[in-house]
Amino acid sequence: MAHQRYILILGIAALISWLAFYLVINKLDPFASTGLALALFFVSLFFALTSTFSVIGFYIRVWVNKNEIYYDHINVSLRQAILLTLITLGCLLFQLLSVLTWWSGLLLIAAVTMIEFYLVAKD
């Protein structure tokens, strides 16, 4: 039952984060306050994507594995959600700097994949 409360809180956080991201997109002028608008864009998108990916990852893990160890699913899905969000934001940052190419995106994915392999091997 505790995992359901965690997922509910994470789902509410996702909704609030997506609302914050929507407000940043629609209410802030990036030409007037470039630094603040950009920082709020990346922070709100980080929390929105992390919470959304975490909930989706948790339910995929429960559906595929069908075992009762929910806390392992929660920890792994949150870790992988953060890493997937870092890939997404890294590619957005590369695009903002006009340095995103297909191989720089693949290098970013490879680097985050190696971090995930290290964390899995550590456990």
pLDDT at 2 over 90: no
The tens digit of pLDDT for each residue in 103-120 reads 999 999 999 999 999 999
Q: 77, 58 in Cβ contact below 8 A?
A: yes
At 52, which helix (H) or strand (E)? helix 34-65
pLDDT in the model for residue 72: 74
pLDDT in the model for residue 62: 83
Closest CA to 18 of 55, 59, 46: 46
Name the DSSP class of 97: T
The tens digit of pLDDT for each residue in 54-98 reads 999 988 988 888 766 777 778 889 999 999 999 999 999 999 999
Residues contacting 69, CB < 8 A, separation 6+: none
Q: pTM value?
A: 0.89
Residues contacting 48, CB < 8 A, separation 6+: 14, 17, 18, 20, 21
The domain locations on the chain are 2-122
pLDDT in the model for residue 1: 61
Q: 108, 90 in Cβ contact below 8 A?
A: yes
| Rounded mean pLDDT, 33-38 | 84
The tens digit of pLDDT for each residue in 23-35 reads 999 988 777 778 8
